[in-house]
Amino acid sequence: MRGFIFDLDGVIVDTAKYHYLAWKHLADELGITFTEEDNERFKGVSRKRCLEILLEMGGMEVSGEQFNRWLHEKNEDYLSHISKMDASEILPDVPRVLDYLRDRNIPMALGSASKNARPILEKVGLLSYFNTIVDGNEVVKAKPDPQVFLLAAERLGVSPNQCVVFEDALAGIEAANKAGMQSIGIGDPDILTEADAVFRDFTEIDVDYLRGLLAG
């Protein structure tokens, strides 16, 4: 494997908790019940699609203008949470794995649905690890469409079948598989059933495993 692609939320940092707070705030304002369980359905899903789902949950239909106002409001709220982020929010052992790959000059990309990926990486001090950032600002077709990962591979100059993707969402695993890449799930093996391999988190990924990936 020659190229490594990382999802952001749920793989590098746990921003899902901040997305939850911001969606919950808006849902409360709209009188829609929204729980942490509901938030699970929003993981890896674009901001626009999340709001569509929220409004479907509340049985609401709104004009495009109002829709965009709420999207903006949710994002402003989310930004107020992520503005306080720092390196302490990087998920366990992520820096160890990134350092291992960087020391070997392995091209690395970020492949995320978020339009806020770049400022988040900057806040936690990981931006410089990535040769390219492909995020929700550039991708038209959301995961499970493979567009985000295919563009990342193209920018890395590595063919898709020589890329590994780390993902926490089922839609992301499907996208990696469709791209013809090796998919590694980070999370629950009972949920990420279509991944080529699943680890609870990066603490379970040891040097032997990384060596094997690079040799494969």
**Could you say which of Mg ion, ligand B16, none residue 114 binds, taking C-beta under 5 to 8 angstroms by partner kind?**
ligand B16
8 is in an annotated binding site: yes
Q: How big is the site for ligand B16, counted in residues (CB under 6 A)?
A: 20
Q: Is residue 38 flagged as an active site residue?
A: no
- The residues in 155-194 that bind ligand B16, with binding defined as CB under 6 A, are 169
CA–CA separation, 76 and 94 (whole Å): 28
Q: Is residue 9 flagged as an active site residue?
A: yes
CB of 14 to Mg ion, least distance (A): 10
Smaller CB separation from Mg ion, 7 or 174: 7
Contact between 110 and 134 (Cβ < 8 Å):
yes
Catalog residues that contact Mg ion under the rule CB under 5 A.
7, 9-10, 44, 168-169
Rounded to whole angstroms, what are the CA distances from 165 to 63, 66, 70, 132, 169?
A: 38, 36, 32, 14, 11
Smaller CB separation from ligand B16, 25 or 214: 25
| Count of helix runs (H) and strand runs (E) in the chain | 9, 6
Helix (H, G, I), strand (E, B) or coil at 163: strand
DSSP string over 91-126: PTTHHHHHHHHHHTT--EEEE-S-TTHHHHHHHHT-
17 is in an annotated binding site: no
Exactly one of 3, 98, 101, 114 binds ligand B16 (CB under 6 A); which one? 114
Peptide bond into 144 cis (omega under 30): yes
Catalytic residue set: 7, 9
Positions touching ligand B16 (CB under 6 A) are: 7-10, 19, 42-47, 50, 75, 112-116, 136, 169
* Binding-site residues from annotation for Mg(2+): 7, 9, 167-168
